[in-house]
Amino acid sequence: MRRNAARLIAFLLRLADRVDGGSRYVLPAMENPDLSCTDAAHPPVEPSADTSPPTADLPTERACVVDGACALTADGASRRRFLFETGALTTGLAAAPYLNAQERVTVPRPAGPPLRSASVTRMKFEVNGRSYDLTLDPRVTLLDALREHIGLMGTKKGCDRGQCGACTVLVNGRRVNSCLTLALSCDGYKVVTVEGLASGETLHPVQAAFLARDAFQCGYCTPGQICSAVGMLQEVRADSVSAATPDVRTRGAVTLRQISDDEIRERMSGNICRCGAYVNIVAAIRDLAERERL
């Protein structure tokens, strides 16, 4: 493209030089004040034997006078030369990006499947009981794989920094922030999203408890809240402690029947509800803990 631009600029400069008619040189009238403009433009030619008479086909010389006045001065010639060269340079620079546009359009593409980047990796995992075989860039997060490649829009993208919890899903039974989890790190794992909690038309107990307690308002964070609540209850069953556990050295210090509201708030603190439905969320989880049926 640079070579084509240089050629175009050189051509425009040659064209400007031809149109200018050699105005870079000082006219004879400027060198000899006694010589009139008309005589300078049409100097007398002595006839000779070698000189043939002018014909109509020969180009006539440009006149130096317009309405009896000198048409070009030294300053005028310099100014016109400057304008011609500046215009040629500007035109060349402006047209440079489009010089090889036709070449890019007409280049034939090789037949066959589309080329893939060498970094693209193939992975296979299970989502909501269904196996998926995907070819992904290693930088794709689990959240984007679920939403953009599989089409499960229940998992929401909130802060995209692991702070709001709206993207919470279950990976091998443990809750994770899918926006901070690379999809390739889940190769061979089992992933459950909010779409996979219900069994047909029967809601999951956590989903039913959220409906009964009206534990949501706008609903944007609700998928993450529900998945986080399911994972939290499983952690309590597995005798996992938290910062609110009274005695972390005692095995079985926290059970579903004895869990306190402070314990629930601490374990659900990674999920933000901007509508402020925390009271009903805690109440819904407490109802499930008391019944201990999931």
Residue 84 and residue 176 in one domain: no
Query: Structural domain tally of the chain?
Result: 2
- Pair (26, 161) in one structural domain: no
Q: Phi, psi at residue 44, to the nearest 5°? A: -65, 145
Give tens-digit pLDDT for 175-234: 999 999 999 999 999 999 999 999 999 999 999 999 999 999 999 999 999 999 999 999
Helix axes 74-95, 2-20, angle to 10 degrees: 160
Torsion of CA 92, 98, 102, 108, to 10 degrees: 120
Measure the CA dihedral 149/152/156/159, to 10°.
-10
The model's pLDDT over 16-31, given as tens digits with 9 standing for 90+, comes to: 666 555 444 444 444 4
Is-contact 238 254, C-beta < 8 A? no
Does residue 21 fall inside a structural domain? yes
- Cite the beta strand spans of the chain per DSSP E: 65-66, 69-70, 121-127, 130-136, 168-171, 174-177, 190-192
My answer on whether 21 and 141 are in the same domain is: no
Q: Which residue range is the domain that position 29 belongs to?
A: 2-42+63-103
Which amino acid, residue 58?
L
Residues 88, 184 share a domain: no
Same domain, 140 and 230: yes
Cα–Cα distance, 286 to 264 (Å, whole number): 8
Which amino acid would we find at residue 145? Answer: A
Q: What is the pLDDT of residues 104-129, one digit of tens each?
A: 555 555 665 555 555 889 999 999 99
What pTM value is reported for the model?
Answer: 0.60
